[in-house]
Amino acid sequence: MVEWIAQGEAEMLALGAALAQVLRAGDVIALSGGLGAGKTTLARGLLAALGLAEEAPSPTFAIVQPYDAQELRLPVAHVDLYRLDDPAEVAELGLDDYRSDGALVVEWPERMGERLWPDALLVKIEVLSDGVRRLTASLPPSWKERWPFP
């Protein structure tokens, strides 16, 4: 487990940008935390660093928002599972297909149940009483040698 602190929105965007620098095809970044914790903000920082010109919308209603190689240096599917009621619904989304040549950023991964990939980078975001975010990451082996934070 690795832990770090983000003081505000700018730092959350910067954390996403740092993860973008080491992101590669096949990766899954799973972001968990309550409503308003900063999951989408971190994802926006990552997408902007990969080349997205406009601000990424939250995929809450679309569930899966794909970005292709014309928009980003690496295709990414930004996924928000908040509205799913049953982990079995995840199979209908075809998320594995996005991993073949791109990466996934998944918000609310706990809604996947046992379907979450064992090689996913798990990042839990907790809002502390002063509004500061504490991020705790569980690094799978594929992330340990390229982890961008001290």
pLDDT in the model for residue 20: 97
pLDDT in the model for residue 126: 96
Counting every residue written for the chain, the total comes to 150
Q: Which residue has the tokens 């799978």?
A: 140
Residue 150 has pLDDT above 80, yes or no: no
Q: What amino acid is encoded at 96 in this protein?
A: D
Q: How far apart are CA 90 and CA 93, in angstroms?
A: 5
pTM, entire model: 0.94
